[in-house]
Amino acid sequence: MTARMTTLSTLALLAAALAWPAHAADTVTVRSKSTSWAHMRAEATTHSAILGKVDNGTKLEVLGTSGDWTQVKWGDKTGYINNKLLIRSASK
């Protein structure tokens, strides 16, 4: 391999490494003011199936957002919780 190809390969690997996010996934914490839990739902609507009740203080991994809802992962379940019932963790 020539010196130029080695340099280009090294630069390509470095660029790929810098493009990959190095921070942990965003998280939220359940914080309902009216109950000690929040419903996790199958879809981003109050009319969808309830997948479970997540206790206040539980930290959840954020997968995305949809309007007033945040898609989260809780154990082996993925669902939606209304943003009013969540506190966003500070970004690092």
Strand partners, 81: 70
For domain 23-88, the CATH architecture is Roll (2.30)
For the record, the structure tokens of 74 come out as 């809780």
For the record, the structure tokens of 11 come out as 């630069």
The model's pLDDT over 31-66, given as tens digits with 9 standing for 90+, comes to 999 999 999 999 999 999 999 999 999 999 999 999
Q: Is the pLDDT of residue 20 over 70?
A: no
Q: How confident is the model at residue 4 (pLDDT cuts 50, 70, 90)?
A: low
CB 86, CB 71: distance < 8 Å: no
Q: Give, as one character, the DSSP assignment of residue 24.
A: P
For the record, the structure tokens of 78 come out as 């993925």
